[in-house]
Amino acid sequence: MRTDKNWRLLGQGLAVLTLSATLAACGGSSDASSGDRGTASFLVSVTDTSYPHQEATSAFSLVVTSQTFQPSALSFGAETVGMTTVTQLISATNSGSTPLMVSGVAITGMDSADFSQSNDCPGSLVVHQSCHIRVVFSPHLSGLRSASVTLGGSESAAMTGSGLALASAFYVAPAGQGGSDANPGTLVAPFLTLTKAQSAMQASAGATLTTYIRAGIYSPSAITCGISNGPCGLILGSSDSNETWAYYPPDGINSAILDGGASGPSTGLGSIIYLRGGVTGVTIRGLQFQHCDWTCIAANGASHIAIVQNLFHDGYYGGSTTSGWSQPEGGPESSEGAINCEGNCQYWSIVNNAIHDFAGFGVIVEPGQTVGGGSILGLLVSGNVVYNTCTGFADCGAIYCEDQAGGGTCTFTDNFVRDGNPGFAGYAGYGSAYYLDGCASNSTLSGNVATGRNGSMIVFVHGGYDDTISGNLFDLATTATYAVALQTNGSFTCAGSNDMHGNVIAGNAFVSGGGGGGWGIDAIPTQPAIHNNDYFAYAGSVPSHLGINDVTVNDTNPLNVDPALSLCYQVAPSSPLYAVPIVLPPLVMGWGPPGYVIPKGGTPPSYPSPTCN
C-alpha cells in the first residue's frame, strides 16, 4: 500500500487543490514497474483563495487499466549480422478491470531498428483479452542489442540479442563474379565450386568451417555417391562435421541457387547435397534448391543437422515414367522429396524452410521398416511452409516421419501445409498433410495449419503410441474424408508396444467448407482420447466429431463455435478458441524464410492473402 499526500495544483493564484491518494495494488504490491494496477482512491479538497473563501471536499475512485506481457521478455540469442532469426511470439493481456485502449504497438530503444514486429492487436482489449506480437531480430551491428516492445502504455517487454560478425569463411561465387578454383577463396577472390570450398575447409583443420555462397546459379558436377537414384553434387562425410554452408547476408536470403539439372523423373542429379553416415553438426542455411530428381538434400545416418530458412522447389521423381512407378505407392524408392533422411536420423532441426511443387514428399525422415533398422531422436520440423507436394503418387505426406524402432520423437510445430497431397481418384484412404507412419511414437503435432487438398485425411497415425495432436488449426476444405485417421501397423512390428496406447486428440480447431471430418479409426487395441475440439463450417455441413470406420470413438466434449478466422488463418484476439476448454495456443506464423510470402493459389478457399506472412 502506498500513500501520496499534498499534491497541489495552482491555477492563476485563484485556487489550491490538495489531494490525498491511497493506492492499493493488486496482490499487495506497490511496485509500479511490475505492471500491476488497482484502484486509486482520492480525497479532494479545493480552497478558493479569494475572500471570503469557500472550501469543498469530495472523494472519488479511479480504476486504472493495465497490460501484462507473456513472456515478460524475449531473448533471441546470437545471430549473424545481416541474418534474421526465426519468429518469437509475445502475448499482451489486459490485466486491468476496464477496457484497454491500444494506441499502437511500437518497438523503442537504442537498437529498435534491429527488431521488427507484426501483430493482431485491435484498437482496444476487453478485460482478460490478449493479442499477439510476433518479433524477429536482425542485427545491424555486432555486440549486445536491446529494445522494448509496448502497446502505447507505460509497460513494456524487454528484448535482447547479440549481433555476431561474419564468421571466418571461404567464399564461392559464379565465374561472372570472379569465381575461380585457382583463387584463395576470399571475399574478393572467391572459389568457383562447392567442392573446392569443401576441400579448403577440410584442409584448415577446423580453423575455418564456414562457406558463404554468393548470389547466382550453381550447377554442381555429378559425383558418384553410392545411392541408387543417380549421382550427387556435394557429398559431406565425417571429415565435414560442424561445417556451415550459407548464403552471404549482403546478397539476400535464397539468392544462391543450387540447380540439380533435372527436367523430369530420372534426370539430373539424384541429390544435390548428400550427408553420409558419421557426419554431424552440419548447418545448411538460406540457400535455394531447384530441379531435384530424387531429393534435394539426402542423408543416411547423419546427426545434429540444421536445415534452416532454405527454399526448395521443383522435384520430379515419382512421375509415371519412373521405372517401377505406381500411382498408389510411388516408385521402387518412394522416399523422394525436398529433404530426406534414412537410417539413424538423430537431432535434426528442419526449420522455416519453404517447399513447393514436388512429385514426392516435402520432408521425409524414415529409419526403415524393420525393428533395429534405425531410429529417430529429437526430430524438430517447425515453421515450414509446404505446398503442392505428393503430386506423383497417393501414399504420401507433406511432412512425414517413420520410426519402426518406436520411442523416437517427431515434433511438428507451427508449420503451414496447403495441398500437401492433391490425391488421386480411385485411391481413397491414401495420403495426408502430416503423416506419422510405421510406429512413430511419443510425437507431438501442435500449432500447425493444414488446408486445401491433403489426401484422405489431415493427420495419419499408423501404429504409433503416446502421440499428441493438440492446438492445431485444420481446414478440411471440401475434400478431406477424415480429420485424423488411426490404423494399426499391420504386418510390421513396433518396438516397445503394438497397442497404440496414449494417443490424444484435443484442443484443435477443425473448420470445413463441406469436407467430412470425423475419425477414421480402425479396430485398434487402445482407442485415443478425443475431447475439447471445435468443429465449425464456413460453408456446407459441420464436420463430424464422430468415429467413422470400425469403431465409434467420439469427442467427449465437442464444441461448435465460430473461431473468428481471417483468410490468412489468423485467429482474432476475441476468438473463443483461446478460451477454456479449447485453449488454442496463438499461431507463431512467420512461415518459411524471412520475408517469404505464401503465393495466392491452390485449392480454394485454402489460399491466404498476400499479406498473411
The confidence band for 249, taking pLDDT boundaries of 50, 70 and 90, is: very high
> By C-alpha distance, which of 210, 166, 214 is closest to 192?
214
Q: What share of the chain is helix, strand, coil (3-state, %, to 5)?
A: 5, 40, 55
| Whether residue 506 has pLDDT greater than 70 | yes
Instruction: Identify the pLDDT of residue 491.
Output: 65
Sorted by sequence, the CB contacts under 8 Å of residue 560 that are 6+ apart come out as 534, 535, 536, 542
Locus of grid cell 530441379: 291
Is the pLDDT assigned to residue 29 strictly greater than 70? no
Among 285, 284, 278, 271, smallest CA distance to 241 is for 278
Confirm if 317 and 266 have CB atoms less than 8 A apart: yes
Reduce the DSSP state of residue 188 to 3 states and report it. Answer: coil
Q: Could you tell me which residue, 513 or 152, shows the higher pLDDT?
A: 513
Return the HEC string of 26-74.
HHHCCCHHHCCCCEEEEEEEEEECCCCCCEEEEEEEEECCCEEEECCEE
Tell me the CB-side half-sphere exposure of residue 23, using CA atoms within 13 A. Answer: 17
Q: For residue 6, report the phi and psi dihedrals to the nearest 5 degrees.
A: 60, 45
Query: Could you tell me which residues are beta bridge partners of residue 101?
Result: 124
Distance set, CA 199 to CA 35, 211, 269 (Å): 56, 11, 21
pLDDT at residue 516 in the model: 76
pLDDT tier at 554 (50, 70, 90 boundaries)? confident
Read off the pLDDT band of 122 (50, 70, 90): very high
Is the backbone peptide bond immediately before 605 cis, with ω within 30 degrees of 0?
yes
Most confident of 4-13, 32-41, 106-115: 106-115
The answer to whether 267 touches 293, Cβ cutoff 8 Å, is yes
43 φψ region: left (φ > 0), alpha (ψ -120 to 50), beta (else): beta
Mean pLDDT value of segment 269-276: 95
Residue type, position 59, single letter? A
pLDDT of residue 225 exceeding 60: yes
Q: Are 218 and 259 in contact (CB under 8 A)?
A: yes
Residue 314: is its pLDDT beyond 70?
yes
The CATH code for residues 170-578 is 2.160.20.10
Q: Convert the pLDDT of each residue in 387-430 to its tens digit.
A: 999 988 888 999 999 887 656 689 999 999 999 998 765 667 78
Rounded CA-CA distance 467/500 in Å is 9
**Contact status, residue 492 vs residue 438, Cβ threshold 8 Å:** yes
Run of H or E residues at 198: helix 194-203
All residues at 6 or more sequence positions from 181 whose CB lies less than 8 Å from its CB, including other chains: 191, 192, 193, 196
C-alpha span between 292 and 314 (Å, rounded): 6
Considering the chain, what percentage of its residues have pLDDT values greater than 90?
A: 57
557 pLDDT higher than 90: yes
Cβ neighbours of 281 (radius 10 Å): 16
Backbone angles phi, psi at 20, to 5 degrees: -110, 125
**The 73-80 sheet, strands edge to edge:** 73-80, 156-164, 143-150, 106-108
Q: Which residue has the cell 475431447?
A: 531
| Rounded Cα distance, 364 and 501, in Å | 24
> Could you count the other beta carbons within 10 Å of the beta carbon of residue 126?
12
Report which residue type is found at 97: S
Report the share of the chain in percent with pLDDT over 70: 81
67-164 CATH fold = Immunoglobulin-like (2.60.40)
Q: Residue 78 pLDDT > 80, yes or no?
A: yes
Is the Cα torsion angle 22, 28, 31, 34 positive or negative in sign?
A: negative
**Among the listed ranges 86-90, 167-171, 212-216, 435-439, which one has the minimum average pLDDT value?**
435-439
Q: Of 328, 268, 273, nearest to 296 (Cα)? A: 273
Burial of residue 209 (number of CB atoms within 10 Å: 0-12, 13-18, 19+): buried
**Residue 519: predicted pLDDT:** 87
Q: Grid coordinates in use for 586? A: 496463438
**Do 309 and 352 touch, CB atoms closer than 8 A?**
yes
User: How far apart, in whole angstroms, are the C-alpha atoms of residue 57 and residue 277?
Assistant: 84
Of the pLDDT bands very low, low, confident and very high (cuts 50, 70, 90), residue 594 is: very high
Residue with cell 501442435: 446
The phi, psi pair for 148, rounded to 5°, reads -135, 155
Alpha-carbon dihedral sign for residues 245, 250, 254, 259: negative
List the one residue out of 371, 369, 373 whose CA is nearest residue 395. Answer: 369
Cell representation of residue 464: 504409433
